[in-house]
Structure 1
Amino acid sequence: MKTLLLGLSLSLIGSSAFAADAVLEEVTPVFSWTGGYIGLQAGYARSDGNIRQRSGRGFVETDPDGFLGGLYAGYSYQMPSNIVIGVELDVVYANVDGSGQIFAAPGLPVPGGIAIEELNWSGAYIAGGVAYGGIDTSSNTVSGSFGDTLTGWTIGAGLDYAMTDNLLLRAEYRYTDFGTEALPNGKVDLKTNEVRFGIAYKF
């Protein structure tokens, strides 16, 4: 929003007359990152995932990949030194999955054995802290599908650009390690590399 600054100067002429000059100066305000925001995001994830199956069924490299999209919201505060700090929460729906050949031992595939690992959703606090995600696994050598919510950590780097006082654009890279979780069909491990793009409204 632009602001107008009104200045008034008086010039005395002789002893009985004066002139008044009104000066209008247009001032462009400095943008501040302080405030809350909410936005939409979408991106692509490529993962390093595996399933270490129980009952001697071996090790499976699944390496899921796919697209994701969802919401993010937070609050930023710009300090007098122009350093910006804040807190953020995000959650995305993920269509990230992968499958692999089941090996009973190195070089010994289980005939027809295939296992699948899927990341169905994920979220994070602060975009550089705690991460969580819903992961499902299944295979044609074990009856049923098994899933759980994994908790790990995430860190990333990105750029936010203010198109207007209220419209913010974002590009971000994020690495997430969801850790290892024991499921009925074995131990599951997942790490993701994500590229995300977002647009947000700043209040």
Structure 2
Amino acid sequence: MKTVLLASTVFLVATRVALAADAVAPDIIPAGFVWTGGYVGLQAGYAWSRSHNTTADGVFSDANPAGVFGGVYAGYNHQFQNDFVLGIEADMNVSGMYGRTDIFFPDGGKDLDHQFDSEVRWNGALRARLGYAVGRFMPYVAGGLSVARYEFGLYRDDSEYPRQKATWTGWNIGAGVEYAATDRLLVRAEYRYTDYGDKASDLPWGASYPSRTSLTSHDIRLGVAYKF
């Protein structure tokens, strides 16, 4: 519910800003390149994360998955007469983010038998974007809902226990700049922060060891798209 409310707030604020500014702008058609229209593109990047697991009795590990990812994105922009650009966009990526770490006890000791690992298999997002057109350049901010397939588990002497596998949802916020290299070809660079929250998990230490796992990530991505 919190992620839905946050995404709705981001979209409503972006809409109000663009419409309010458009209401006081002169009734003219923007000259030169116009960002209005749909687009579809390819993207790739590198992501690093913080994933903390803690059991009920204080045993913890930080298997922070990191790695490259790549996928597709598509969206639609509308440029107002005052050069504000409001858009909506969705993306989906396959991910190579992986991490493996030792497990530590509350007294500072280390579990010599087990290790904890985690990985993000895929991720996606649905976001609202608010930009400002400066000719063929458009700096923008964006935010909305995120989803990811997250897997984690335990190893003992390189033998793997059954893994925890679930689809996690969260929220994201970011900023970037886009450039219209031609009237049809758009290139971009973007930074994004994503928070998937903190969730209960049942690791195979037994029923007396319930745990909680959190996941946040940062990424830098580059993209190229075709504008319709």
Look up the equivalent residue of 1:90 and give its one-letter code: D
Within the alignment, does 1:51 sit opposite 2:53 as a pair?
yes
Alignment match of 1:137 (pick from 152, 157, 162): 152
> 2-side partners of 1:87 and 1:152: how far apart?
17
Q: Where does the alignment leave 5 or more consecutive residues of structure 2 unmatched?
A: 1-30, 128-141, 204-210
Look up the equivalent residue of 1:169 and give its one-letter code: V
SS at match of 1:128: strand
Q: Please tell me whether the aligned partners of residues 67 and 96 of structure 1 are also in contact (alpha carbons under 8 angstroms).
A: yes
> 1-side partners of 2:181 and 2:106: how far apart?
55
> 2-side partners of 1:128 and 1:200: how far apart?
19
How many pairs does the alignment contain?
174
Q: Which residue of 2 aligns with 1:21?
A: none
Alignment match of 1:160 (pick from 146, 165, 178): 178
Q: Which residue of 2 aligns with 1:90?
A: 91
Q: Which residue of 1 aligns with 2:25?
A: none
> 1-side partners of 2:173 and 2:107: how far apart?
33
TM-score by length of 2: 0.73
Look up the equivalent residue of 2:172 and give its one-letter code: T
- Residue 67 (structure 1) shift: 0.4
Within the alignment, does 1:38 sit opposite 2:53 as a pair?
no
The structure with more radius of gyration: 1
Higher strand fraction: Structure 1 or Structure 2? 1
Look up the equivalent residue of 2:38 and give its one-letter code: G
Within the alignment, does 1:188 sit opposite 2:209 as a pair?
no
> 1-side partners of 2:148 and 2:191: how far apart?
17
- Residue 57 (structure 1) shift: 7.7
Identity %: 40
Q: Please tell me whether the aligned partners of residues 133 and 151 of structure 1 are also in contact (alpha carbons under 8 angstroms).
A: yes
SS at match of 1:77: strand
Look up the equivalent residue of 1:193 and give its one-letter code: H
Higher helix fraction: Structure 1 or Structure 2? 2
Alignment match of 1:151 (pick from 144, 150, 169): 169
TM-score by length of 1: 0.81
> 1-side partners of 2:212 and 2:96: how far apart?
21
Q: Which residue of 1 aligns with 2:123?
A: 122
Q: Deviations over 1:83-126 (max 9, x none)?
A: 00010001111110111111122411111320001111111111
